[in-house]
Amino acid sequence: METCCSSSSSSLSSSSSSVNVGVFKNVFLPSSTCLSLRQPQSKSSSSFAEGGRFGRALNTTAATKEETSNKSQNEIEMKGITLRGRPMYLDMQATTPVDPRVLDAMLPYFVSSYGNPHSRTHYFGWEAENANEEARKNVADVIGATEKEIIFTSGATESNNMAIKGIANFYKSGGKTHVITTQTEHKCVLDSCRQLQQNGFDVTYLPVKTNGLIDLEELKKAIRPGETCLVSVMAVNNEIGVVQPLKEIGEICRANKVFFHTDAAQAVGKIPLDVDEMKIDCMSISGHKIYGPKGVGAIYVRRRPRVRMEPIINGGGQERGLRSGTLPTPLLVGLGEACKVAKEEMEYDHKHVERLSKRLLDGLKERIPYLVVNGDEEQRYPGNLNVSFAYVEGESLLMGLKDCAVSSGSACTSASLEPSYVLRALGVEEDMAHTSIRYGIGRFTTEEEVDRAVELTAEVVEKLREMSPLYEMVQEGIDISKIQWSSH
């Protein structure tokens, strides 16, 4: 399949003159049709090259300490809170900034290459379709799949719903009405499973160990031969960053003829993934977690052995009939370019993130006693650092860090004041779960931001502990775990 009009020297003769033509989809087109405006810019375009590695201004940089110390300078009021300058962004698990190379690839499809990819009778539609298929290939390449196994969606939430409900409902008629997942999955997975339960399915919610990892022996015991149709386990946990043993899970599922789905929104492009080697049957992918646009994602659906599912969106039959609706070419191009860049730079990004994560944790440990890292410290993605601080009040801690964009859990549950259900599943005590902070480090995070985050966190924790009677008792050598508290 050709991806652009060729600058062919062929010509068509008319009665009086010849016209230069190009060839597209085996159709001869006048060269004037192949406008340069419609050709997507390559990542080596001048707009990117002139900006160095980060391209055009990508402003994730926080205000300096000097700027924030001057209360009258650059004040911003939002949501009833006054901010002194732009906060630093350390919430990469919630979303990532769009990489300039991704934006460069997307722009032509907003302003000039705007055809409907499902219009099969003219150049504009062919051009958009070609761009979509190139994006599909880029997504497939980053996980070791084939293009025909990639279905585009609006994001990981839709992909998770498709996998869980689609597979369960398709195989229900064969008596397979049992699904296995874990207690620490993303809310959209847990809610999808609860809906299955309302429709007559039986769901097993596997507990996790105190380090956040599942017990493989418990998984084996939970599988019911002839009844279990699906196991769904997240690749990298969005709150604590632990990496589940995907290959081992895949082998267990394949040996028991059970499909294996993984929510890889936090994993794709960040850790090496190979769907064949890991025996993964379905995988959910998100664009905005890997420096791509919001509102687009994909689901990998294995063809051999074939995975079948019922569609949850019906209509024009796009995406092999599994996900109807006009494909948003600019977003797909962005997702594809994000996957391409992530694959090319995965090793560099991982080293960069790992170095800054170590710098952040070492700095926090040096400045702040009585902190605990939540989740396994070895088997984890380093860009996600979840830490609990003892003897401080959680909401006050988060408000005190208003100049640093961090979170206390997943973005989907951040409006809740309840302690994280993920941390509760690990057995973290409620008071420590309330004081957890998730720091997200990414491709564009700088040493200066990490150092400033350490300084800010240390200042806020110190101030809050000065007001804590519990911390004062600990300082005096009192073992507060042995105190009998009276209730009123």
Catalytic residue annotation: 412
| HEC secondary structure over 84-136 | ECCCEECCCCCCCCCCHHHHHHHCHHHHCCCCCCCCCCCHHHHHHHHHHHHHH
- What's the rounded Cα separation, in Å, for the pair 363 and 385? 13
Of the candidates 432, 428, 413, which has an alpha carbon nearest to the alpha carbon of residue 190? 413
Those residues whose C-beta lies under 8 Å from the C-beta of residue 402, and which sit 6 or more positions away, are 81, 83, 87
Please report where in the chains the tokens 């092999």 appear, as a residue.
320
Report the DSSP pairing between strands 88-89 and 404-405: parallel
| Residue-by-residue DSSP string for 124-169 | HHHHHHHHHHHHHHHHHHHHT--GGGEEEESSHHHHHHHHHHHHHH
Phi and psi at 255, nearest 5°, equal: -65, -25
Secondary structure of residue 460 in the 3-state scheme: helix
β-pairing verdict for 88-89 and 282-286: unpaired
Task: Tell me whether residue 203 is exposed, middle or buried, using C-beta atoms within 10 angstroms of its C-beta: 0 to 12, 13 to 18, 19 or more.
Answer: buried
Closest C-alpha to 364, from 252, 455, 436, 297: 455
End-to-end CA distance of the chain: 75
Tokens of 350: 């991982």
Give the residue carrying structure tokens 């996957």.
Answer: 339
Q: In whole angstroms, what is the distance from residue 331 CA to residue 107 CA?
A: 10
Per-residue CA distances from 485 to 186, 370, 427, 476, 480 (Å)? 36, 22, 22, 18, 10
Q: What angle do CA 422, 423, 425 make, to 5 degrees?
A: 65
Query: Which conformational region is residue 118 in: left (phi greater than 0), alpha (psi within -120 to 50 degrees), or beta?
Result: alpha
Q: Which amino acid is at 22?
A: G
- Reference 227, options 201, 207, 206; nearest CA is 201
Q: Cβ distance 336 to 106 under 8 Å? A: no
